[in-house]
Amino acid sequence: RVKEEGKNSFQFYTPDMNEAITKKMQLENALRKGLERQEFTVYYQPQVDVRTGRVIGIEALIRWRHPELGDLQPDDFIPLAEETGLIVPIGKWVLVEACRQNRLWQSMGFQPVRVAVNISSRQFQQSHFVEHVRRTLEETGLDPKYLELELTESIIQDSKYAISTMRKLKDMGVHLSIDDFGTGYSSLSYLKLFPIDSLKIDKSFTQNILADAKDTALVQTIIKIAHYLDLNVIAEGVETREQLQFLQQKLCDEAQGFFFSRPISVEEMSTVFREQLWVSINAEKHSG
């Protein structure tokens, strides 16, 4: 490769590159088949109200059980799904699944929570995106106020389009949040323009709030900015009690992270809801 330079500068393809391309094509094929064969599942991670400790939301996170490759994490396949456009059908499936499951939990009598679904920019930019959200809510019977869409700063590339799409979603009653807040390259001015409900502090900040004075300052500032703008703020990646205590002191609204729970299966999430229901029934009995 490098040593060939000069002698044959038109050698674009090398054995290594071929191998990489082949691997990518295999994964792409596996992704398509995975959709057909229903190899994807959704895990849920609790989002907790830091004042009461109650689960008030859950985030839907995709998992892939491949028959040969085993369990794959989003970071292993979401980037390729975005590149190939397969994120559109995959994302559609996650949205339907998360709404259906959340509605099912509500019909089982559990305390209603909001389900947050990650939306890739590519999916958000589909011309039928708003219609798809509307239809999904109608077909699953989920009240729009129990759906949150997590968007990233990258949608700001086309801010006119983004604002009008967000407005339509807001008018429907759906909640909107900015995920991984502070890690993109966007300017703060979009906070003023975008009709959003909450900011999610990226876990790279949360994880260092007690170790790095700059992250401490950043997290405090993000919480203040959010509150000045009347936005809800949730910290992602909370792993320790000390981090939680810091966030409580700084009046962060919600927290999500391994300290409370890893992303868990539908069955495990049902258990969490069931336990929470018992706690609240007992609390009512004792107060009344």
**Range 135-174, binding ligand C2E (CB under 6 A):** 150
- Name the one range near Mg ion by CB under 5 A: 79-87, 180-188, 208-216, 271-279: 180-188
Distance CA 50, CA 232 (A): 12
CB of 63 to ligand C2E, least distance (A): 8
Contact indicator for 233, 252 with CB cutoff of 8 Å = yes
Q: Under the criterion CB under 6 A, does residue 75 sit at the interface with ligand C2E?
A: yes
Nearest approach in angstroms of CB 52 to ligand C2E is 20
Residue from 118, 177, 186, 198 touching ligand C2E (CB under 6 A): that is 118
Is residue 47 a contact residue for Mg ion (CB under 5 A)?
no
If binding is defined by CB under 6 A, does position 57 make contact with ligand C2E?
A: no
User: Angle 74-84/87-107 helices, nearest 10 degrees?
Assistant: 120
Between 15-36 and 87-107, two packed helices, what is the crossing angle to 10 degrees?
A: 30
Query: Applying CB under 6 A, what is the total number of residues that bind ligand C2E?
Result: 24
Residues 6+ apart with CB under 8 A from 177: 116, 148, 149, 150, 151, 196, 197, 198, 199, 200, 232, 234
Residues ≥6 apart with Cβ < 8 Å to 2: none
* Contact predicate 226/198, CB 8 Å: yes
Nearer to Mg ion, 32 or 260 (CB): 260
Whose tokens are 């801010």? That residue is: 159
Determine the Cα–Cα distance for residues 277 and 256; give it in Å rounded to an integer: 20
User: For residues 153 and 180, which CB has a smaller minimum distance to ligand C2E in the complex?
Assistant: 180
According to the binding rule CB under 6 A, does residue 237 interact with ligand C2E? yes
Kindly tell me which of 83 and 139 has the beta carbon lying closer to Mg ion: 83
CA distances from 69 to 26, 30, 43, 65, 273 (A): 12, 10, 19, 8, 32
Near Mg ion by CB under 5 A, which window of 85-93, 100-108, 121-129, 171-179? Answer: 171-179
The correct pick among 179, 207, 209, 234 for binding Mg ion (CB under 5 A) is 179
Is position 74 an interface residue for ligand C2E (rule: CB under 6 A)? yes
Quick one: which of 148, 153, 180, 253 contacts Mg ion (CB under 5 A)? 180
Q: Which of 109, 113, 93, 61 is nearest to 258 (CA)?
A: 61
Closest separation between CB of residue 180 and ligand C2E, Å? 5
Beta carbons of 90 and 34 less than 8 angstroms apart:
no
Taking Cα atoms as reference points, which of 73, 75, 93 lies closest to residue 32?
93
244 binds, among Mg ion, ligand C2E, none (CB under 5 to 8 A by kind): none
Q: Which residues bind ligand C2E (CB under 6 A)?
A: 45, 61-62, 73-75, 78, 87, 91, 94, 118, 120, 150, 179-180, 203, 236-239, 256-258, 263
Chain positions contacting Mg ion, by CB under 5 A: 118, 150, 179-180, 236
